[in-house]
Structure 1
Amino acid sequence: MRRSRPFWRLTPAERRVWDAYPSGAWVDLRTGDPETDDPAKGSTWGRHRTVRAEVVAALMLGANPAGPGQVAGLRLAGARIAGELNLSDASLTTKLHLHNCHLPGIVSLTDSTAKGLRFRGCDIYRIRAARCTVDGLLELDACTVRAGVWLDNAHITGQLRLARATLNAPVPLGASESDKEDVRRPFSEAERRERGWDQDHWALWAGGLTVDGGAFCRDLRTNGGLRMIGARFNSGLYLERAVIKGTGKHAIYADHMQASSAELSAGFTAEGTVRLRGARVAGVLSFDRAVLSAPGRCLHLSHMQVDELILTPASVSGRVNLGYSRIGVLLDSPGAYPGGVELNGLTFESLRGGTPLAERLSWLGRDPAGYRPQPYEQLAAWYRRIGHDADARAVLLAKQRARRATLDMPGRVGGYALDVAVGYGHRAWLAGVWFGLLLAVGTVVFTLNPPAQVGLDERRVFHSFPYTLDLLVPVSVFEQRAAWEPVGWTQWLANILIASGWILATALIAGATRLLRPQQN
């Protein structure tokens, strides 16, 4: 029995597609000439290569079902799909595979369900697939999308493939007709601002997207940002060698994103801020050999939880924000922070990379907000945990010196005294040096200028060493201080020795308190 067709006339190309659909056979309308078959030139293809979008939609919605023992599917190469391909709210039970096709209208899949959608090497005006469910693969490999891809709150149980694709931010509805005709040319940020398109910066709008099988976006090119707030990539996000040119402030805006791993590495380039505030990465988040640039912050990674962060970019222009993030392992390089780094609230379990202590201290001092105590305490705790007590003390000493710059003049003077005397208690050996020096000076001076005996009822023999030692010790031990009275200018020296003894003792007590307090926590 001949199946009925709901169209009075089908072109030869449409008839081939119609008859091939029940068996899922390929229909190839290409000429074999790469220049002629370029989908970007699809507007020049004639009637013999044109298939109406309504014919494709009718087939996908069951107008020509498969016969017994057949698996239906629409597989088409080298065609111009004329009109808007509207499959919104549909339940598609067969697969759609378009190869090297030209789609000048909108592909609408909003609220639809599908078994698999493959657009490979196609030239597409716009894709709208909000809340779409794809039970399988959604592929846009090597495609060019002229006016944005909408995947907000979509669910893909298989893979999302955007390898070698080119995505552009849309031209707003209020744009002039000439601009709409010129949509195939990407507009720069300055051009978009000049036209008043400041809000239309997103080449990919994918808030709430869930991808179960991995998002493979290697070598992706965009003229516009990626908006992926709350997206979930259960098998990872892979953006190696991708070039994301934000036409607004952000190249990637992905607050609260969740991923098993995320590779923004191996030549990944972002022009604009990469914002992953509050993201959760169960594995590795890598910026190895990435190129990052933005005015202000180029990386906004605050309030994250990540097992391992690899921050070894090839080039960085802008600040990095790591504030209040919890990182298991941090592997970074000194060159990752030329524009400053925000560290307040950051916690980490381990540091990799063999960065010298001096460079770590420089890292702590690059916060644009100035001195914050917590990063110093965190770094010192890590050094102490791995058994590098000397490095931990050096970090805490650097903390006190940085804090001193925030005090008023009396506080600074006292701070300098503690620093010179005992290094704020972290260089207790300095107290011994000062004590020995003062003891030697006092011994020599009082040997040459002995004091007078206070009481004459008994005869005493003066010894300058125990006398000087008794002056330096805050509590008289040898009972020399009360038995002898300095004469002349040596009275000033005696007073200096007494005061110095109290200062050294106070500094040692204060330093020991600071040193022991973190160990009690």
Structure 2
Amino acid sequence: MVRSRPFWRLTAAERQVWEAYPSGAWVDLRTGDPARDDPAGGGAWGPERTVRAELVTALMLGARPAKPGQVAGLRLAGARITGMLNLSDATLTSKLHLLNCHLSGTVSLTDATTKGMRFRGCDIHRIRAARCTVDGLLELDSCTVHAGVRLDNAHVTGQLRLARARLMAPDLDQSGPQSHRPSESYLEDVRRPFSDAEKRERGWDQNHWALWAGGLTVEGGAFCRDISTVGGLRLIGAKFNSGLYLQRAVIKGTGGHAVYADHMQASSVEFSAGFTAEGTVRLRGARVTGVLSFDQSVVSAQGRALHLSHMQVDELILTPASMEGEVNLGYSRVGVLLDHPRAYPGHVHLNGFAYESLRGEARLADRLSWVSRDPGGYRPQPYEHLAAWYRRIGHEQEARRVLLAKQRARRSTIGPTGRLAGLLLDLIVGYGYRPWLAGVWFAVLLAVGTAVFATHPPSQVGLDERRVFHPFPYTLDLLVPVSVFELRGAWEPVGWTQWLANILIASGWILATALIAGGTRVLRPSNP
């Protein structure tokens, strides 16, 4: 047995690991004292709890075969593992399970193919697992990783578990040598938002991400509940075939974004139940076949809080507890939108946004405010789509009010002459959406004219016959564009009533024109 060892000298702890591996038995080096067993202080553990990473690597690469009838595996608790645990490019056939261990070096699984990998309650310097394939469970529950986790283009056939984990971006690592730690001025500087060009210039493409996982595929659920990070989550193009769950997670972005997940695909996504993000949550072009929820979340950012444009989502729940910043839903397609007015504290981009159903406590006034808050100004599509939805569910009156609000918003974008004409049409017939207003104006003018001409009758034009003047039909004849009773030419107003007669004639033409325009839908589309 000695000849097969890659090490001539083994400590007592290492010998236990060496002997236990062929049967997959547990080696527990913990003392039972929670304070002394805390892996955060594992750097001070003595040789009785120290295992070299080279020994772990050798065993995982087949330094010892399995015992007949048993399954080999490395299961170790309460150990201090020194050095870099390098399993890159390896094909591992046994499982690695570390519990409450302290790993001062990097865990490297780049391009490796492994069985299940479990790190529970461990204190780890850094994890690199780009393009790694894990056939089973990849677990980092309750772990602390000081210099980031890299899982870009990795493939996990089972579940990914990061519940209660604490992750820090590489640039914020405080566990390494003093010479490599960032200064306080640097930490203050890195937290302010920068443009993409500035980030590339400063070399921050990876270093401000606590989880760098673009292209990650997880077949089972990705359970990240109660995770806390200093640094963002980069999930561009990731696939979560059984959902991504981030309830109660606290994500503090250090580069402007808390979550960057363009073109992500998932069966469901939960940014809910106390999820907190400092920085933009960006899911541009994401595809969610189930629910995307921001229920009772807290999101704050300078500028844009939620960038959710060009998405396709079956159901979007926007009922946050608190939100600061813009919301961008432009050109997204949503089956059901459940929201309330608090979801949009600032500007909201809705141009091109389409939905099949609206749910929530929002009143019509809230919806009208919602479609009018685009930072680019007036956009017709949000009004038209909202009106179409109201009409589809049988609320014709609400649909007409939305289209009226659209015309009023449009009025501010045209020239002075158009604005004046628009204001006139709004007052007379509500742009054709309130034709009853024309009847009100007609009745008022008819009453005024009747009263005036009753006290100031006009003079008869021809004296060849005796006529009796009636103010009501005379005023009605003035208001109707084409003379019906032929009284307009039989009587001539006198004095200042001539002006009233001219006003009545002009008003009649204006009312008739506005009614015809509204009736033929010149001022409104037949199908908004």
Q: Does 1:288 align with 2:288?
A: no
1:188-234: CA deviation from partner (whole Å, max 9, x where unpaired): 45366799675521000000001110100000000000000011111
Tell whether 2:341 aligns with 1:334: yes
Cα distance in 2, alignment partners of residues 37 and 332 from structure 1: 47
Q: Deviations over 1:278-313 (max 9, x none)?
A: 111111111111111010001111111111111111
Q: Secondary structure at the match of 1:171?
A: helix
Equivalence for 1:389? 396
Name the residue aligned to 2:84.
84
Is 1:446 aligned to 2:453, yes or no? Answer: yes
More moved, 404-413 vs 144-153: 404-413
* Match in the other structure for 2:418: 411
Q: TM-score, normalised by structure 1?
A: 0.95
Worse-matched range after superposition: 409-418 or 242-251: 409-418
1:263 aligned onto 2:270:
yes
- Please give the root-mean-square deviation of Cα atoms over the aligned residues, in Å: 2.4
Give, in whole Å, the separation in 2 of the partners of 1:182 and 1:454: 100
Aligned counterpart, 2:376: 369
Give 3-state SS (helix, strand or coil) of 2:290's partner: strand
Amino acid corresponding to residue 162 of structure 1 in structure 2: L
CA contact (8 A) 2:432 2:523 kept: no
In the alignment, structure 2 segments of 5+ residues that lack a partner are 194-198
Task: Return closer, same or farther for 1:28/1:390 CA change in 2, 3 Å cut-off.
Answer: same
Q: Which residue of 1 aligns with 2:59?
A: 59
1:99-119, Cα deviation, whole Å (9 max, x unpaired): 001111111101111110000
Change (3 A) 1:515 1:97: farther
Q: Structure 1 residues 366-375 or 219-228, which shifts more?
A: 366-375
With normalisation by structure 2, the TM-score equals: 0.93
Distance 1:42 1:20 in 2: 22
SS at match of 1:90: coil
Any residues of structure 2 matched to 1:233-272 within 5 Å, and which? 233-272=240-279
Q: Is the 8 A contact 1:299 1:319 kept in 2?
A: yes
Q: Among residues 227, 230, 243, which one is paired with 1:223 in the alignment? A: 230
For 1:394 and 1:81, locate their aligned partners in 2 and report how far apart those are by CA, in whole Å: 69
Residue by residue over 1:315-337, the C-alpha shift from the partner in whole angstroms, topping out at 9 and shown as x without a partner, is 11111111111111111111111
Asked whether 1:111 is paired with 2:111, we answer yes
Tell me, what secondary structure is at the counterpart of 2:299? strand
Cα distance between partner residues in 1 of 2:386 and 2:523: 16
Compute the displacement of 1:425 (Å): 1.3
Q: Supply the AA of the counterpart residue of 2:331.
A: Y
Q: Distance in 1 between matches of 2:498 and 2:61?
A: 107
Q: Which moved more, 1:195-204 or 1:288-297?
A: 195-204
Report Cα offsets for 1:420-464 as digits up to 9, x if no partner: 111111111111111011111112222222223334444443322
Q: Check whether the contact 1:171–1:179 (CA below 8 A) recurs between aligned residues.
A: no
- CA–CA distance in 2 between the matches of 1:229 and 1:287? 19
2:468 aligned residue: 461
Which runs of structure 2 are paired with 1:162-173 in the superposition (5 Å)? 162-171=162-171
- Alpha-carbon shift at residue 510 of structure 1 (Å): 2.4
**Structure 1 unaligned regions, length at least 5:** none
1:213 is aligned to 2:213: no
SS of 1:51's equivalent in the other structure is: strand
Q: What letter matches 1:112 in structure 2?
A: A
Q: How many residues align?
A: 519
Judge which range, 454-463 or 70-79, deviates more.
454-463
Query: Is the 8 Å Cα contact of residues 309 and 327 (structure 1) preserved in structure 2?
Result: yes
Partner of 2:100: 100
* Equivalent residue number for residue 470 of structure 1: 477
Q: Does 1:120 align with 2:120?
A: yes
1:489 is aligned, of 488, 491, 496, to 496
Instruction: Pick which of 501-510 and 287-296 moved more.
Output: 501-510
Identify if the C-alpha distance between structure 1 residues 237 and 399 changes in structure 2 by more than 3 Å, giving closer, same or farther. same
> Paired residue for 1:273, among 267, 280, 283?
280
Code of the aligned partner of 2:491: W
Question: How much has 1:343 moved relative to structure 2?
Answer: 1.2
How far did residue 489 of structure 1 move?
A: 1.6
Q: Shift of residue 12 of structure 1?
A: 1.5
Q: C-alpha deviations, 1:236-293, integer Å up to 9, x for none?
A: 0000000000011000000011111100000000000000111111111111111110
Matched, 1:325 2:324: no
- Identity across the alignment (%): 76
